[in-house]
Amino acid sequence: MADVSCPTSLVSLGRALSQPSLNLLETNDTSPTTSQLHPCRRRKLSSCSSIENGDPVTSLFADESRVLVINTGGTIGMTLHDNVLAPKANALVQSLRKLPILHDELYAHQTSMYQYYGSENSLVLPLNKLNRRIIYTILEYSPLLDSSNMTTDDWGRIGKDIEKNYENYDGFVILHGTDTMAYTASALSFMCENLGKPIILTGSQVPIYELRNDGRDNLLGALLIAGQFVIPEVCLYFFNKLYRGNRVTKVDAGSFNAFSSPNLAPLATAEVDISISWDTVWRANTTAKFQVRTELNRNVGLLRLFPGITASTVRAFLQPPMQGVVLETYGSGNAPDNRPDLLDELKKATDAGVIIMNCTQCLRGTVSASYATGMVLMDAGLIAGGDMTPEAALSKLSYILAKKELSLEAKKKMMAENLRGEMSANLDGAKLCLSDSQFIQVIAKSLSISCKEELEAIRDALTPPLACAAAKIGDIEALNALKEMGSNLCLGDFDGRTPLHIAACEGHFKLVQYLLSNGASVHSKDRYGDTPLCNAVRFRHKDVVKLLRKTGAHFSREQIEEAGTELCSLAASGDIDGLEIWILAGADLNKPGYDGKTADQVAEAAGRKEVVMFLVQLKGTKSMTVFGEFNEYDEYDDDDENSDTIEFTAIPTEN
């Protein structure tokens, strides 16, 4: 463990702080060439296609964000038919369009928004406190379902739609019935691997069409969070609270406060302000790209113990094709230890390869082996489910059992591990408490501060700029020290610039790797709308660009459109190096510049033969037109992430 009071860390941080800040560096630097200007800063309307093609465009302006709303059904969009509630198709968009808190028609008209987004199903929220516009597009499923009718196939459909639209939106909201929302949220949390953007499920207890309802608030809250915060989790938003999706359970059929997350505090609360508990937010900690696993195993089940349950009931339940069972036990994971008949059935099943998870029937608390009645279940081969909800344990089984590439042992091991924050970590390795940090304590003392909240406020104010300063000089040790103080290395400074932005600017490859493995998000935008990828391109750090792309970083559709002009300008000036890096970052060689000419046409007109040859050769590889996919040469040296070369075939240069 690094010592936060260690002079090395502080000296190096001090050194970094004494250097001109990055902000100054960016603005005072010798004026950037056209190729260094980020396309975000040059706003331009461009043509578009519609959501129906699965191909919507990104934001009109840099201060807009885009959210895809997938409407699967549920009470939120139901009306009465023959005195019972049922989903009403094709009604939600028209209805929302008439609600000023959920749609600003004036803005939509002034900006020709419908034309631009090419979808009648796009709506825009009024300007929010942070001066941000959230444009949301509704994708309505047919048929709309009461969530009691949903199956694993519906989860797969949602997953696929998110995957298909992932790069075109900043966040996703899923409108869903409340009855099985906790199951869907849990399942999606496992199916979405290496998630980097928010996916928020919400719905309501009373239809949005009724005078008094909870649908409007729930939808608005979910949109505001999905459109403004990079919370890379599958969440559930209900009654002013944002929960981790795999921690919730429906607890009340007749209250607006329908959900509870008994073993984990909310990720955010929407009171006077929306306050995010960043320390609680789960992060993928990976350099792997987002993907959705839609294969799920349906041979799983929930079995609740009750006094007097017969061995034959248990035997019948555990028969093939059953492969995974969540046994809901008493208290802290207990079952009768005076029932050898029952225990025998459980043991026979685990010996035959059925994975049985031990989860408690209690709403709150965890499974532990503190009683003899709990120990017998361990002996029978059950796996302790910790404080997982039965919903989470069941969908985790379904997800893991579908991984054909894994052995039974590997599957069991994964079931006991915390994959998506669904269970509380073992407290043995608990992180340092804030008050253990001498550095913060010294500052707190000089400011006569002692209470925990004030200490935390100091830590949160100080650590983002310190972390950015450490990132500037590539000091992983200092970042580690900050991390061990309990600091969140993903938070941005006063300009929303995160340590990852800084490391990308500086080209500190190892540091970028470290940050990505510690939860940094490739999708974070600073106040200018720049992502770490934009920064790495601007300062031409190829290896960093490649690593960020591998982790799922991408240009927005608008940036792709505008990159045409950038490529033309690079081609005109014979800047092959610049062209390489833009293409590596995802720019499309076939996109024309502002005058309709493509980069190769411009190079030809400017007599840049070497550029023409370079581009012709590149265009020869089919990969160049792919948007949101790896270019072919990204994959050439996938294992050699630190390599400084790109495997273009040698190109003769002539003058």
Ligand X SMILES: NC(=O)C[C@H](N)C(=O)O
> Considering only residues 56, 77, 203, 465, which one is a binding residue for ligand X as defined by CB under 6 A?
203
Contact 209, 79 (CB under 8 A): yes
Query: By CB under 6 A, which span of 174-182, 314-322, 365-373, 634-642 interacts with ligand X?
Result: 174-182
CB-wise, 258 or 581, nearer to ligand X?
258
Output the CA torsion sign for 270, 276, 277, 281. positive
Beta strand 199-202 with 171-175 is parallel
Label residue 484 exposed, middle or buried (CB < 10 Å: 0-12, 13-18, 19+).
Answer: middle
> Considering only residues 12, 59, 184, 205, which one is a binding residue for ligand X as defined by CB under 6 A?
205
Q: Annotated binding residue at 47? A: no
Least distance to ligand X, CB of residue 99, Å: 19
List the x/- string, 540-559, binding to ligand X by CB under 6 A: --------------------
Q: Name residue 327's beta-bridge partners.
A: 303, 358
Calpha distance 360→393 (Å, rounded): 11
Least distance to ligand X, CB of residue 250, Å: 9
- Quickly count: other Cβ atoms within 10 Å of residue 521's Cβ: 24
List the x/- string, 16-55, binding to ligand X by CB under 6 A: ----------------------------------------
> Considering only residues 55, 63, 120, 146, which one is a binding residue for ligand X as defined by CB under 6 A?
146
Using CB under 6 A as the binding rule, whether residue 148 contacts ligand X is answered as yes
Query: By CB under 6 A, which span of 172-180, 451-459, 510-518, 628-636 interacts with ligand X?
Result: 172-180
The three-state (H, E, C) secondary structure of 250-310, written as one string:
ECCCCCCCCEECCCCCCCEEECCCEEECCCCCCCCCCCCCCEECCCCCCCEEEEECCCCCC
Query: By CB under 6 A, which span of 142-150, 259-267, 434-442, 637-645 interacts with ligand X?
Result: 142-150
Encoded tokens for 386: 């910790």
Question: Whose structure tokens read 């028209």?
Answer: 94
CB-wise, 177 or 333, nearer to ligand X?
177
Q: Annotated binding residue at 147? A: yes
Calpha distance 344→444 (Å, rounded): 59
Three-state DSSP class for residue 136: strand
Q: Which residue is nearest to ligand X (CB)?
A: 177
Least distance to ligand X, CB of residue 54, Å: 26
CB-wise, 32 or 143, nearer to ligand X?
143
Least distance to ligand X, CB of residue 74, Å: 4
Using CB under 6 A as the binding rule, whether residue 446 contacts ligand X is answered as no
Least distance to ligand X, CB of residue 208, Å: 11
CB-wise, 203 or 519, nearer to ligand X?
203
Active-site entry in 137, 152, 178, 531: 178
Query: By CB under 6 A, which span of 146-154, 299-307, 366-374, 410-418 interacts with ligand X?
Result: 146-154
> Considering only residues 74, 232, 474, 574, which one is a binding residue for ligand X as defined by CB under 6 A?
74
Q: Annotated binding residue at 179? A: yes
Nearest to 166 by CA among 187, 140, 193: 193
Which contiguous run of DSSP H or E holds residue 462? helix 452-472
Least distance to ligand X, CB of residue 388, Å: 22
Using CB under 6 A as the binding rule, whether residue 178 contacts ligand X is answered as yes
Using CB under 6 A as the binding rule, whether residue 147 contacts ligand X is answered as yes
Calpha distance 456→438 (Å, rounded): 14
Using CB under 6 A as the binding rule, whether residue 75 contacts ligand X is answered as yes
Least distance to ligand X, CB of residue 395, Å: 17
Three-state DSSP class for residue 172: strand
Using CB under 6 A as the binding rule, whether residue 177 contacts ligand X is answered as yes
Contact 354, 394 (CB under 8 A): no
- E strand map for 74-154: 78-81, 84-87, 122-124, 133-145
Residues 6+ apart with CB under 8 A from 153: none
- Quickly count: other Cβ atoms within 10 Å of residue 216's Cβ: 16
Phi, psi for 87 (deg, rounded to 5): -60, 145
CB-wise, 240 or 623, nearer to ligand X?
240
Using CB under 6 A as the binding rule, whether residue 254 contacts ligand X is answered as no
Using CB under 6 A as the binding rule, whether residue 179 contacts ligand X is answered as yes
Least distance to ligand X, CB of residue 144, Å: 9
Using CB under 6 A as the binding rule, whether residue 214 contacts ligand X is answered as no
Query: By CB under 6 A, which span of 140-148, 340-348, 385-393, 473-481 interacts with ligand X?
Result: 140-148
* 58 catalytic residue (yes or no): no
Question: How is residue 334 annotated by DSSP?
Answer: B
CB-wise, 255 or 625, nearer to ligand X?
255
Contact 312, 348 (CB under 8 A): no
Instruction: Write the CA distances from 561 to 126, 533, 565, integer angstroms.
Output: 27, 16, 8
Residues that bind ligand X (CB under 6 A): 74-75, 146-148, 177-179, 203, 205
Binding-site residue ranges for substrate: 147, 178-179
Where in the sequence numbering do the catalytic residues fall?
178
